[in-house]
C-alpha cells in the first residue's frame, strides 16, 4: 500500500522537525511543513495530503480550529489536533473543528501512529456513508426537477441547469456531467440520470456493431456507408432535424503528419482515408462526417487527430538513419485537458508548459510547450511505458533475438508489442480494476507489475520535464486509468517535485471535438486545410 501523505502545521521549528522525524520513522510521507493556517490551505490545495497534523495555536489571521473547519468544508481531509493544552476550555473549542483525533504534546510515537491510523480508518468509513447518503439525497432532491438538477461534487451541492449540459457519460462507479463551462463527476448511476433528465432534450446514444456485422467488410474504410446509415437513422428516430446542425465533427484518423488544430474534411483527406496506409477505427470519423455534412451543406471537421506532429527536430532522431521517431498518440485528449487546465489557471494554452500523461489501454506522455507538443512517445506502436496491453519500450537486443529465434511469426511479435503485451502478458488480464483487487488480496506479483508500470510512467514524465528545461506549469494525469487512486498516488509521489499535479480522469474527447468546431464557427481560430 502507498505511504500516507501527511501535512504538518506547526509554528515552532524544533517541534515541527521532531514531528517530521517521528512520521518518517513510522513509515509515513511528510508532504510538507508549514507554520500558518493560510499556508496550510495553500499547501493542501496544491498537494492534497491524506491527513493534516495541526497545532491549535497558530500565528497568523486564522488559528488551527478555523483552518480545520475550512479544510473540512473545502477538501474533506481529516485533521488531527496537536496541542500542549489539555484543559476543558481548549477541548471544547477544538470540537468546533471536528477533528479526527486530539494529541497532547509531548507524545509518544506509538500514540501518534495509533491516532493517525484510527483517524484514516474512520474517515474512510465516513466517506462511504457520505457516498450512500449523497446518492439518496440526489434522488430526493431531483425527483421533481423541471429545469435543473443538484449534483454533489467537490464536497458541495451544485445546481446545474439542463440547458447548460452538453452530454452525460457513464464512467465505472461515476457519472460525468459535461456542461458549457465545467465538468462534474458524481457518485450515481446512468440509470438514475436517465430518470431525471428530460426526454425531449436528451437522448441515450448506444450504437454497437457486432463482429459478425463487420466481418463482411474487407477493410475498416469499407464500413463507412454502413455506419453512416446507423447515424442517420439515430437522428431520424430521435427527431433531430438535420437543418438544425451547424457542423459535423468526426474523429481524426491516421493521416499524414500534421500540426494540431481543427481541419476541414477536404476531398484530399476523404480520398486518403478511403485507402489509408494504416488501418485504424478513427479513420471512419471523417468518412462518416463528410457525407452527412454535404447532405445539409455545412462544414465537416476533424480535430487534433492521432497523427498531430509538432515534434522538435532533435526529438525525431532515433539513433540510426534507418529509423525515425514519429508522433502518433492521444492528441485529442491531451490537447483537450491541457486547454482545460490552462483555462483553470487563467492563461492561454499557448502561454503554458505542461507534461500530460494519458493513461489508458495505451500510454502517451507529451511535453507541451506554448501550445505545441514538442516531444511524445509513439503510443500506437507501444513505445514508452508499458500499459494494460502494450509492452512499451522493450530491450532492443532481446527483441532482435526473439524476432530471429524462429519461434515466433511477425504477427506474433506484433501482438507481443500491442494487444498481448504489458499487464495482460504478466497477469493474464488487462482490467486494471481486477489488478487492484488482486493487490488488495496480497497478490505480490500483481503489486510488482503494477508498481513497475507506475515507475515507468513517472520516469517518462520526468524525461518530458527535462525537455521543458524544468519549466513546467502543471503535470496532468488523464485517461481512463487515471481513475485508479493507487496509481495516481504513486505517480504523484514521484513527480510532484516537478510541478503541481492535476488529475482529470477519463477522456474529454467528445467535448474536445465540439469545442474544436465551435472555435472555428465562432471565428476564434481558422480551420486548417489538409494537403
pLDDT tens digit sequence for 257-284: 999 999 999 999 999 999 998 888 889 9
Please report the pLDDT score of residue 506 as a whole number.
77
Please report the pLDDT score of residue 237 as a whole number.
84
Res. 106 pLDDT band, cuts 50 70 90 = confident
Q: What is the pLDDT of residues 461-494, one digit of tens each?
A: 999 999 999 999 999 999 888 888 899 999 999 9
DSSP SS3 for 80: strand
Range 443-464 average pLDDT? 96
The grid coordinates listed for 355 are 507534461
Taking the alpha carbons at both ends of the chain, their separation in whole angstroms is: 52
Range 235-247 average pLDDT? 89
Please report the pLDDT score of residue 280 as a whole number.
84
Q: Which CATH class is domain 331-506?
A: alpha beta
**340 Cβ contact list (under 8 Å, min separation 6):** 183, 504, 508
Please report the pLDDT score of residue 359 as a whole number.
93
Please report the pLDDT score of residue 402 as a whole number.
95
Q: In terms of DSSP H, where are the helices of 97-145?
A: 109-142
Q: What is the pLDDT of residues 107-164, one digit of tens each?
A: 889 999 999 999 998 888 888 777 666 655 555 555 555 788 877 665 566 788 888 8
Please report the pLDDT score of residue 132 as a whole number.
63
Highest mean pLDDT among 85-89, 419-423, 474-478: 474-478
Is the pLDDT score of 512 beyond 60? Answer: yes
Please report the pLDDT score of residue 403 as a whole number.
95
> Over 275-341, what HEC string results?
CCCCCCHHHHHHHHHHHHHHHHCCCEEEECCCCECCCCHHHHECCCCCCECCCCCCHHHHHHHHHHH
CATH architecture, range 5-127: 3-Layer(aba) Sandwich (3.40)
CA gap 237, 293 in Å, rounded: 19
* CATH hierarchy code of domain 144-196: 2.40.50.40
Per the listing, cell 426537477 goes with 145
258 DSSP assignment: B
Backbone angles phi, psi at 219, to 5 degrees: -135, 165
Assess whether the region 5-127 and the region 331-506 belong to the same CATH fold. no
For the ranges 35-39, 90-94, 511-515, which has the lowest average pLDDT? 90-94
Where do the domains of the chain lie?
A: 5-127, 144-196, 331-506
Higher pLDDT, 461 or 235: 461
Please report the pLDDT score of residue 171 as a whole number.
65
The grid coordinates listed for 277 are 496506409
pTM comes to 0.65
Please report the pLDDT score of residue 447 as a whole number.
95
Mean of per-residue pLDDT scores for the chain: 88
Is the pLDDT score of 1 beyond 60? Answer: no
Compute the C-alpha angle 239/244/248, nearest 5°: 100
Q: What is the pLDDT of residues 2-48, one digit of tens each?
A: 678 999 999 888 999 999 999 999 999 999 999 999 899 989 888 88
Please report the pLDDT score of residue 336 as a whole number.
92
Please report the pLDDT score of residue 60 as a whole number.
80
Q: What is the pLDDT of residues 186-223, one digit of tens each?
A: 777 777 788 788 877 777 777 777 777 888 898 999 99
Please report the pLDDT score of residue 131 as a whole number.
67
**470 Cβ contact list (under 8 Å, min separation 6):** 498
The answer to whether 330 and 304 are in contact (CB under 8 A) is no
Please report the pLDDT score of residue 133 as a whole number.
65
Please report the pLDDT score of residue 173 as a whole number.
60
Let me know if 521 is exposed, middle or buried by CB neighbors in 10 A (0-12, 13-18, 19+): middle
CA gap 203, 128 in Å, rounded: 31
Please report the pLDDT score of residue 516 as a whole number.
92
DSSP SS3 for 526: coil
Higher pLDDT, 36 or 184: 36
Please report the pLDDT score of residue 209 as a whole number.
78
Backbone angles phi, psi at 31, to 5 degrees: -80, -15
Please report the pLDDT score of residue 2 as a whole number.
61
Q: Which of 67, 64, 68 lies closest to 83 in space, CA to CA? A: 64
Q: Which of 40, 79, 83 lies closest to 61 in space, CA to CA? A: 40
- CA 335, distance to chain mean position in Å, is 12
Amino acid at each position: 500500500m502507498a505511504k500516507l501523505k501527511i501535512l504538518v502545521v506547526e509554528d515552532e521549528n524544533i517541534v515541527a522537525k521532531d514531528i517530521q522525524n517521528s512520521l518518517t520513522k513510522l513509515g509515513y510521507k511528510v508532504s510538507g511543513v508549514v507554520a500558518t493556517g493560510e499556508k496550510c490551505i495553500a499547501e493542501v490545495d496544491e498537494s492534497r495530503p491524506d491527513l493534516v497534523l495541526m497545532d491549535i495555536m497558530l500565528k497568523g489571521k486564522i488559528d488551527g480550529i478555523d483552518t480545520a473547519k475550512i479544510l473540512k468544508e473545502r477538501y474533506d481531509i481529516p485533521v488531527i489536533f496537536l496541542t500542549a493544552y489539555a484543559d476543558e476550555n481548549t477541548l471544547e473549542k477544538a470540537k468546533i473543528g471536528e477533528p479526527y483525533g486530539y494529541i497532547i504534546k509531548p507524545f509518544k510515537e506509538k500514540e501518534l501512529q495509533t491516532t493517525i491510523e484510527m483517524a484514516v480508518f474512520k474517515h474512510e468509513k465516513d466517506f462511504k456513508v457520505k457516498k450512500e447518503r449523497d446518492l439518496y439525497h440526489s434522488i430526493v432532491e431531483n425527483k421533481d426537477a423541471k429545469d435543473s438538477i443538484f449534483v454533489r461534487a467537490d464536497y458541495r451541492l451544485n445546481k446545474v441547469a439542463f440547458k447548460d449540459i452538453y452530454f452525460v457519460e457513464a464512467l465505472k462507479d461515476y457519472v460525468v456531467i459535461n456542461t458549457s463551462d465545467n465538468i462534474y463527476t458524481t457518485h450515481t448511476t446512468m440509470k438514475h440520470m436517465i430518470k431525471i433528465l428530460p426526454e425531449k432534450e436528451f437522448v441515450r446514444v448506444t450504437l454497437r456493431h457486432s463482429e459478425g456485422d463487420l466481418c463482411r467488410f474487407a477493410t475498416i474504410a469499407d464500413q463507412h456507408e454502413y455506419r453512416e446509415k446507423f447515424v442517420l437513422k439515430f437522428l431520424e428516430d430521435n427527431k433531430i432535424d438535420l437543418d438544425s446542425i451547424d457542423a459535423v465533427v468526426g474523429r481524426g484518423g491516421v493521416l499524414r503528419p500534421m500540426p494540431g488544430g481543427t481541419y476541414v474534411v477536404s476531398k484530399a483527406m476523404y480520398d486518403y482515408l478511403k485507402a489509408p496506409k494504416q488501418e485504424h477505427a478513427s479513420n471512419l470519423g471523417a468518412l462518416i462526417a463528410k457525407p452527412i455534412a454535404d447532405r445539409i451543406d455545412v462544414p465537416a471537421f476533424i480535430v487534433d487527430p492521432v497523427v498531430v506532429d509538432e515534434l522538435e527536430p532533435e526529438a525525431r532522431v532515433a539513433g540510426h538513419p534507418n529509423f525515425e521517431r514519429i508522433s502518433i498518440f492521444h492528441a485529442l485528449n491531451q490537447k483537450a485537458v491541457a486547454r482545460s487546465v490552462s483555462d483553470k489557471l487563467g492563461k492561454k494554452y499557448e502561454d503554458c508548459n505542461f507534461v500530460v500523461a494519458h493513461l489508458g489501454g495505451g500510454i502517451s506522455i507529451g511535453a507541451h510547450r506554448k501550445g505545441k507538443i514538442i516531444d511524445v512517445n509513439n503510443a500506437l506502436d507501444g513505445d514508452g511505458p508499458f500499459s494494460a496491453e502494450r509492452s512499451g519500450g522493450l530491450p532492443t537486443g532481446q527483441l532482435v533475438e526473439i524476432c530471429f529465434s524462429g519461434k515466433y511469426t511477425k504477427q506474433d511479435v506484433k501482438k507481443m508489442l500491442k494487444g498481448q503485451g504489458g499487464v495482460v502478458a504478466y497477469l493474464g488480464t488487462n482490467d486494471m480494476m481486477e489488478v487492484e483487487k488482486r493487490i488488495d488480496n496480497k497478490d505480490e506479483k500483481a503489486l510488482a507489475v503494477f508498481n513497475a508500470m507506475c515507475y515507468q510512467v513517472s520516469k517518462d514524465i520526468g524525461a518530458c520535464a527535462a525537455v521543458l528545461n524544468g519549466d513546467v506549469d502543471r503535470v496532468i494525469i488523464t485517461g481512463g486509468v487515471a481513475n485508479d487512486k493507487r496509481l495516481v498516488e504513486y505517480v504523484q509521489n514521484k513527480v510532484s517535485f516537478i510541478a503541481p499535479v492535476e488529475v482529470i480522469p477519463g477522456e474529454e474527447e467528445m467535448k474536445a471535438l465540439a469545442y474544436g468546431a465551435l472555435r472555428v464557427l465562432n471565428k476564434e481560430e481558422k480551420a486548417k486545410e489538409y494537403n
